[in-house]
Amino acid sequence: MTNFRHLTWMLIAAFGLVFSTTQSHAQKRPDADEPGLVADDGYELEPEWKKQVVYFRTTEAPGTIIVVTAERHLYLVQGNGRAIRYGIGVGRDGFQWQGLVNITRKAEWPDWTPPPEMIARQPYLPRFMAGGPGNPLGARAMYLGTTVYRIHGTNRPDTIGTAVSSGCFRLVNADVADLYDRVPVGTKVVIRQKPEL
């Protein structure tokens, strides 16, 4: 009888665990923004998404940033057929874009004010969030032209290599700080869907 009760309680506990996991997946938000979550700086990226110097053929000048959305990579052109490649998170379906812009502003531990169109889609977001470790913009932000988009850090390093944002490009905090130190305001940024042929 004791074994039967023990088995019954184990089955109830297992059912509860499965149900709560299913509920949390059902409530997961499409953009993966989690205001207030502090980034796990010990998170280990897959080798594909780690910063590295790679062979890169382009006609763009050294110092240019090239984002290739389909690859989930951002390249900082170095010249001599080389670039520093960073793994990034990109816009989800319907929020990917391409174009030519410049970095118009840079900020360390930026404040976040989600634009009205983002609030309309995601009313649960805060209207303002001060910069800091729990801010979805992460450690640094580079503002792109007159758009609402940025190259920024993240408090969700597990989203690097995915398409979950509302159009911004996110890097882990260590990588965005590295890129931030390498590029000035005015840097040319080329956003492409596919690699240059």
Give the integer Cα–Cα distance in Å for 170 and 173.
Answer: 9
End-to-end CA distance of the chain: 72
Report the catalytic residues. 152, 168
Got the DSSP string for 128-157? -B-SSTTSTTTTEEEEETTSS-EEE--S-G
| CA separation for the pair 69, 183 (Å, rounded) | 20
CA distance 138 to 80: 32
Comparing CA positions, the residue from 113, 147, 153 lying closest to residue 130 is 113
The span from the CA of 39 to the CA of 156, in Å, is: 6
Which residues are paired to 113 by β-bridges? none
